[in-house]
């Protein structure tokens, strides 16, 4: 197989879609100002309803659209931003610079999950708190601090198909914010990107997933590996290497580069963790440079043929449906073209 030179995923254009949403409008609608604005920025009077949604804890009744929203799950930030959802507080410290809300000082910052300021959530007087991923461990504390708010956690559940969980998350939030068409669009574009990869992938092509962090190349296991593990299940990829007791550690599993080389993958998929959290630090080396210049990997088929596809630079802090859509489209581009394309991103600094 010849995919071509290293390619880094880029953001696609507008997304359009079609997938069934799961939320039930309840009784009694009343007119009130909602949190949304038109595309032109004009205030709009949305019809506020109570709806039932299903999250990881069960059925919950929430106002739609909610008046005050706190967002903590970084899988959701890009969608909320693209929909124009106004936030009363958010974990802005977890937002990548690619999100315009990251530096919006008008949104109180809850901080990151290591040292969050949960009192910021209280001050926001939220109707809804969107938790998940890094903040899931704080759910009980948050519920105690804001008992009148509805906490929603749509983090992909263990044991469920990851792609279906991303669809569920997106469509449920679309119902909550009365952005059903926009949510549908994201899902349909996601589905199209999956179909492209399925058609282009040559069954039997061996695939390796790695994470680069701190100058190291670490292994990401099929299914359980952080971010890229579920991709093996979505596409039924043939893994170049499988190891016992693999983990979902955020830096990947520390196995020798020689072991990776011995597996001789045809295709290498990469998440550059440091591109999202340490690209401005001295000593940062982009993923493609680490892999292509590693002495142990020089004779690996994927490296010799340039069959390396790198996830978007902000992936580690932006792991939502749009990130995967972008990555899958870049992967499909490489597989379809047979020659890939160089990227101006992830070049050595």
pLDDT tens digits, 150-204 = 999 999 999 999 999 999 999 999 999 999 999 999 999 999 999 999 999 998 8
State what percent of residues in the chain have pLDDT above 90.
64
Please state whether 32 falls in left (phi above 0), alpha (psi between -120 and 50) or beta: beta
Q: Lowest-confidence range among 3-7, 12-16, 68-72, 245-249?
A: 12-16
Helix (H, G, I), strand (E, B) or coil at 172: helix
Task: Give residue 292's pLDDT.
Answer: 87
- The pTM assigned to this predicted structure is 0.83
Q: What is the pLDDT of residue 101?
A: 96
Q: What is the mean pLDDT of residues 232-261?
A: 79
Read off the pLDDT of residues 287-341 as tens digits, 9 standing for 90 and up. Answer: 888 898 899 999 999 999 999 999 999 999 999 999 999 999 999 998 987 643 3
- Decide if pLDDT at 343 tops 70: no
Q: What is the DSSP string of 15-79?
A: --------EEE-S--EE---S-B-TT--B---EEEEEEEEETTEEEEEEES-SSEEE--TTTHHH
Cβ-based neighbour number of residue 46 at 10 Å: 17
| Residue given tokens 């992830």 in the structure block | 346
Sequence spans of domains, the chain:
7-13+190-337, 23-188
Quote the CA–CA distance of 222 and 158 in Å, as a whole number: 14
The string of DSSP codes covering 132-150 is: -GGGGGGHHHHHHH-TTSE
Angle CA 253–254–256, to nearest 5:
125
pLDDT of residue 322: 98
Q: Topology of domain 23-188, per CATH?
A: Rossmann fold (3.40.50)
CA dist., res. 9 & res. 196, Å (int): 15
Query: For residue 261, what pLDDT is reported?
Result: 92
Q: Tens digits of per-residue pLDDT, 225-235? A: 989 999 999 99
348 — pLDDT class (breaks 50, 70, 90) = very low
Question: What is the dotted CATH code of the domain comprising 7-13+190-337?
Answer: 3.40.50.1980
Check for a shared fold between 7-13+190-337 and 23-188.
yes
pLDDT at 293: 86
Q: What integer pLDDT is reported at residue 5 of this predicted model?
A: 46
| pLDDT score, position 22 | 41
The CA distance from 31 to 47, in Å, is 5
């Amino acid at each position: 197989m010849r995919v071509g030179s290293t390619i880094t995923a880029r953001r696609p254009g507008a997304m359009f879609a079609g997938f069934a949403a799961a939320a039930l409008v309840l009784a009694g609608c009343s007119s009130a100002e909602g949190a949304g604005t038109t595309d032109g920025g004009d205030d709009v009077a949305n019809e506020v309803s109570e709806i039932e949604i299903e999250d990881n804890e069960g059925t919950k009744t929430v106002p739609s659209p909610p008046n005050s929203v706190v967002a903590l799950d970084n899988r959701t930030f890009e969608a909320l931003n693209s929909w124009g959802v106004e936030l009363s507080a958010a974990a802005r410290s977890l937002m990548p610079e690619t999100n315009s809300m990251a530096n919006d000082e008008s949104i109180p910052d809850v901080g990151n999950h290591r040292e969050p300021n949960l009192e910021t959530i209280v001050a926001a007087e939220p109707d809804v708190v969107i938790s998940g991923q890094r903040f899931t461990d704080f759910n009980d504390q948050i519920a105690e601090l804001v008992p009148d708010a509805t906490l929603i956690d749509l983090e992909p559940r263990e044991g469920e198909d990851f792609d279906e969980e991303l669809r569920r998350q997106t469509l449920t939030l679309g119902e909550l914010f009365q952005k059903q068409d926009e949510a549908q669009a994201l899902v349909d574009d996601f589905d199209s990107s999956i179909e492209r990869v399925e058609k282009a992938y040559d069954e039997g092509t061996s695939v390796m997933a790695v994470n680069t962090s701190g100058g190291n190349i670490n292994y990401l296991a099929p299914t359980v590996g952080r971010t890229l593990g579920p991709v093996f299940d979505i596409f039924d990829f043939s893994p170049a290497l499988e190891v016992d007791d693999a983990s979902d550690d955020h830096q990947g599993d520390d196995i020798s580069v020689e072991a990776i080389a011995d597996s001789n993958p045809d295709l290498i998929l990469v998440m550059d963790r440091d591109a999202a959290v340490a690209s401005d630090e001295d000593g940062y080396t982009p993923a493609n440079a680490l892999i292509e210049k590693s002495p142990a990997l020089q004779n690996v088929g994927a490296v010799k043929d340039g069959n390396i596809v790198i996830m978007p630079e902000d992936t580690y802090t932006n792991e939502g449906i749009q990130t995967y859509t972008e990555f899958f489209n870049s992967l499909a581009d490489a597989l379809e073209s047979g020659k890939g394309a160089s990227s101006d991103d992830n070049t050595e600094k």
